[in-house]
Structure formats: structure tokens, C-alpha cells
Amino acid sequence: MSSLHHSEETHANLVARLPQATGKPIDEWFQVVQDGPSLTRFEERVHWLQDEHEIPHSYATAVVHEYDKVRAARRVQ
């Protein structure tokens, strides 16, 4: 799974604030990640979001972590 550096509570707060902080809701960020380069490592995807979309590290981490969680949940169902 992903290497999350903050608590699940902090993660949930970051996801909740994502639209206000970045101008995009989480589903739009999921599309950005999906359409982006096929980077496999968690930190590579975080850095790509930071570099290409100029969002802070904490929000980039939250996007990638949430994306991975949703994809994993879909595989389980």
C-alpha cells in the first residue's frame, strides 16, 4: 500500500479541504492521476503531482493515498 506519513484523521481532513485548497474535487484529482504517467512508486506519483500541478506535498500525498485506497477497494468488491 502507500506510504502515508500522517494519521488517517489528518488524511481525512486533507481530503475534505482538497477542493478549497486546490480548486479541484477529489474525483478530478483521481482523473489527473489516472491520465498521468504510469509511475508505480507512491512517492514518484506524489512528486509528479507537486511538480506538474503545483499542489503542496501534503495534498499530493492525500490524493495518491486516497486514489490507492479506492482502487484497492474496487479490486476487493
9-59 tens-digit pLDDT: 998 999 999 999 999 999 999 999 999 999 999 999 999 999 999 999 999
Name the band, by pLDDT with cuts 50, 70 and 90, for residue 1.
Answer: very low
Using CA atoms, how far apart are residues 37 and 77, in angstroms rounded to an integer? 26
> What's the pLDDT score for residue 2?
46
Residue 31 to residue 20: CA distance in whole angstroms: 18
Residue 6 has pLDDT above 60, yes or no: yes
Please indicate, yes or no, whether the overall pTM of this predicted structure exceeds 0.85.
yes
Say if residues 49 and 32 touch (Cβ distance below 8 Å).
yes
